[in-house]
Structure 1
Amino acid sequence: MDWLLLYHLFITVLISVPYSLAEAPQSLGCQTTCGDVNIPYPFGIGQGCALSKEFELNCTRDKNGTYKAFTSESSDVEVVNISLFQGQARVKNWISWQCYNSTANEISDYSWGELNLTTTPFRFSSTQNKFTAIGAQTLAYFYLQNGKPLWYRTGCVSVCLSMQGLVNGSCSGIGCCQTAIPLGMNYYTVRFDGNFNSSDVSSFSRCSYAVLIDANSFNFSTTYITTTNFWYGNNGQVPVVVDWSIGNETCQAAQRNKTSYACVSSNSSCIDSTNGPGYFCNCDKGYEGNPYLPGGCKDIDECLNKSTCSGICTNTPGSFICSCPRGKHQVGNNTGDCYNNSRIPLWVKMLIGICVCIVVVLILSSFIYLVHERRKIATMKEKYFREYGGQLLYQEMKSKQGFTFTIFKEEELKEATNNFDAKNILGEGGNGAVYKGTLINNEDVAIKRCKTFDERQKKEFGKEILILSQINHKNIVRILGCCLEVEIPILVYEFIPKGTLFDLIHSYHTSHFSLSSRLRIAQEAAEALAYLHSWASPPIVHRDVKSSNILLDENFMAKVSDFGASVLAPSDQDQFATLVQGTRGYLDPEYMQTGQLTVKSDVYSFGVVLIELLTRKKAFYWDGAEERSLSSAFLSAMKVNKLREVLDDQILNEESMNLISGVAELARECLNMEGEKRPEMREVAETLDRLRKTMKHPWVHEIPEEIESLICEPSTNKELEITSYRSLEEKAMLTIESGR
């Protein structure tokens, strides 16, 4: 039983040792002051009273009976102040000096000092100390070390040949100089350069001084040059600021070892040292005390300070709450400034009132401006809507059953095209750009934004768009709706996926494009134009017929598009004057000269499309270094019986030559310079239909010799030539019909 009791007692002592050491300054009755210096833990006087050996201090009584704290028994470094919060202390440093002996004509009096802190937790503060030299002819060197076999040397020169130029408080090199030191230094010594002495200036300045000093405690005096006041006035020592830290680990590393971690108080924080390795501790905001002792950080009762809160103060852990009694208000958040509602200074009331008025005026002005701009935009949209016949369209939409036409909002079309993003452009020409868009119901559409709009189009737009919207032909692109809220109306068409005839002819030049496909597309386009000219009421002149306005659907069926330049022909006359509009290379020469637009202008343009199909050349193309008109080159070749030279090689063979010659002759009729002599579009469509039927019957390989002779030998009588061609062609068709 006695052994068991001793065992438990031994274990209890072992467990209690760490706690006893943590409580050492209090439980062991350790001395907490030395003279006027407070000695807070982790520092301590005597064995077992400090955190570690390097933090132990000695309290020694000098010859005057004053107690002073020193770093160790073997050190004469006097500690005059320790700050836990800043992790700093102030120690005394001996002033190094040398004086010129005029009798011996040499430097015979000197004391070159050093300061060694290598066995302490101290390092010289590089931010608050300056190496300072004083004298009329002085060059002092400062040797430093950071505890490693690495030395640093710095220094400065102080010169003055007379008392002139010396200024109290100025240490800029005249009588006094200063220089900074690097981080992490804990040892230094001073040396004077022997070539700099006071022999030349001994009449007014005999001594030089050098020391590392707290820059904030030093103020240069001109008497330091002419007297020994700097030494004797400071008893040979001046304060220097040192940073201290615990160990050589960072906070992150130190916190892993709970037994050696020094910040043991709750409500405390660890701070990495900025001057060498190690860390120190601080109490958190709202707490004060010693973070190195358990429970050492105590809550600050801010309410004890009457100036903290002029209202009702309630202390809380680490903070406080200040509230104002009834009838008073608080300025700021928890500031403690409570004012009577009736006692707010007049200037404060005026300032608040002015600020409120300015804010109100700004808000009202912004609101009025926004309302005005919205009304302005709404007025402009309403104006455009009226100008372009929006009311007429609305009435027709209400009155007619099955009238599928939509008047779109501008925002709908912006959303459909991603704000008319250039990436969505399908094509662009002189009359505008066409964008691909996707409506809210996921329907793909083609949206055209026109660039120009003349006054006639503005007046007639509503009527014309109403007629165009009712066109229902398989070879004409349907117009689905329009937007009238903009300066120039936006048109919405059905989306045709396979691109344009222009692309098929020219962009894919190496791909095979059969003669039968060319004739089919030509006939389908001709049927569409014939419908516009002969069966629409009133007739419609397209005015911009070209291969890029003939689209191809998923089955490569032709669909005539782009009615942005179309006009309605008047019922009482065959032609009328209008602004010349169209595309270079396709424009009717007669229309360009006279400005008189007729349906025959479309016929001419279609003739250019026909020869594009036969030659696979553009309306204007480069022949060597020369740009040539396709229509002129074609007519010239026909005239001299050299049609083969301009034809596309893919369709050039003996079996199809007669058929090609028939199409070429039809194109020449369409390109007649006199509009009256050109065929109607319905005649063109019928002729193309007959030629296609000829191609479909294998037993008819040739056009009668009479027709071939007319093609190969140009006649001087054009009227007779055309008539003969048609009569002979009719005979051929009768032969085909009887063959069935």
Structure 2
Amino acid sequence: PIALPNNCNATCGDVRVPYPFGFGPSHCYKPGFNLTCDTSHSPPRLLLDGNGTLQVAGISLSDSTVRVIHHTRIDAFDVTSSSSLIDGRVTRAVSFQLPEIGESYMLSARNEYVVFGNGVQATLYGNTYRNGSGANSNITGCVSSFSSGPFEEYRNCSGGDGCCHASILAGSTPKKMEFRGLVNTGLHNDMPLAVVSEEGLTAQWWDTILNRTWAVKQGFPAPAGNSSGQCPGDVASRLCRSEHSSCRQENGGYTCYCHKGYQGNPYITDGCKDVDECKIPNRCFGHCKNLPGKFKCRCKLGTFGNANKPHGCVSSSVILSKFIKKNKIGLSAASGPVLLLLVLGTMLVPRKIEQHRMKVLKQKCFKQNRGQLLQQLMSQKADIAERMIIPIDELAKATNNFDKARELGGGGHGTVYKGILSDLHVVAIKKSKITVQKEIDEFINEVAILSQINHKNIVKLFGCCLETEVPLLVYEFISNGTLYHHLHVEGPRSLSWRNRLRIATEIATSLAYLHSSVSIPIIHRDIKSTNILLDDTLTSKISDFGTSRYIPMDKTGLTTRIQGTRGYMDPMCCYTGRVTDKSDVYSFGVILMELLTRKKPFSYLSSEGDGLVSHFVNLLAVGDLVQIIDPQVIEEAGKEVHEVATLAASCVNFRGDERPTMRLVEHTLEGISGSKKYMKDDMVIAEFKNDGGKIFEDESSRRYSLEQEMVMSARYPR
């Protein structure tokens, strides 16, 4: 059963309607999950809203999603547009409202924002609850452009030219779309088109673009402040009625799930039924026994091996025959020792088979994880491969077999464990979750780059493991979290200004090293506050080189797939498709603004609808930075605020070739930090005890050079 009894329909047209969803009598659904079955169509349509714009295409309780189709086209030019001057260019903005999807629903992470157009920046606004940013937040956005040819040639959006994709944060509710573009580009001649779609479906949709599918996360509203992930006992018992079900808090609500090995409807009594795995094809290739919530799969009597694999079970006679042949044993019917050998062989051969199977599996994983290619990448230093490739047995021992108690954290890409190697090094071990080729390529890229780098402000890579299905990276253990978590804490005060300025200088120094001091320049491509680790003395360490790239000495940049994080990503990359070292300069400029303001670049939105970068630059231009600067910085930094703000603005210049190099940025920050001395007992000292307990020794006394002052003054008013 999927619906409640007593006149509750389980279907509308060809769509199944499981409780707590329903239509008809009020007892057939939970409040907030009532639907409408429109019988005026053939077949009938199941509607999420009363006005019929959102049609339900399917409901899945197992992954807690509702798939809906939006039927009504919205013409952006029915609303008022506006023009403004940005970076000396006239731009035009058009925005329009999206239909409401109801308080019980939020977008799931299975959606993406897809934009078709030329030179158009499209932004999706709405409510985001997952990160606590609340209403009218910037949910996501991207820039779409194409190099040549008419707009119609790019309708499939397969090559990335003429369109762009942006992921959508789970737990958000879209309210409004906005298009921004230069006058006489996409907003005037070719109407841009933006859709919220289920991932992977966009290429099929051009001819039916009005039927936009959203995957919507549903959950019963949970009170604010409960972030444990667990449901209170009374909620779980009242909500999840099946005996074999459990409750989880996620995306601002409570959701029920059937236990592993069961399937059905956890919201109704006896709704979760045991899955008979033995009836599932290709699940077991030996003797299968179904048990409540699980099953046992064993080789049949007289055979040994792995019954979960085709041809994984081998008969004892075949095993013995191969064993005897390999060891060249002559048999005699009267030979007692031979009979004893046969008995011992029967006992030992299965163990040998298991050891051989594990060896073959390790070799397969090593090859799959590009072990040979990795050795080639590191062959320029013969000792690197031997030193950096760590056996899985060593890492299992270091983490107590990857005990959950050793988990430091993790995200969508993997889990990080704390471990202690045999040489007593304390390390962080990153274990990927998925094994798609893109992840493996980024893993190899990170190892190859970090194995060549030795810098005090870049996280040290101890080694890697290639013998498992998912690759493992072993880093030095950085104990004090990320710059993001230190900066965005609750309360009016955060890191001291001295610490913020020092950390910014360290980041600039390490980026200048990557751009100009290594044998082949390296672009990081994902500089952001969550990728800056801090140790116990608040010394910064740049991490996460998975998307980084080498730049050959004879080139100034490279054309590649655009990657980065919203809010930190260089907009020029979206227009040109080229990544240069100035892309890292832009991201660093955003970090400077984040240090000055304590605003989150990926979610900040001014009252005029501007993001952090544009709002910051506009306030600097009119001399009104006090509106956005962190009060603690104003109190502690004095005139240094304007100097660092001017530097930040130059780093985010729209034209990449007009941005300073990271080496110039490094010298400028060293000049700023060296310009302030602290007097004590008539002596000039350069030591300052910060809130972390570390003595900061300012070894630099350099000032702005005349050339640097002229460069900065020419770009922005001081």
Query: Normalising by the residue count of structure 1, what TM-score does the alignment of the two structures yield?
Result: 0.42
- Highest CA radius of gyration, 1 or 2? 1
Which structure's residues are more often helix, by fraction?
1
Q: When the two structures are superposed, what TM-score results if normalisation uses the length of structure 2?
A: 0.44
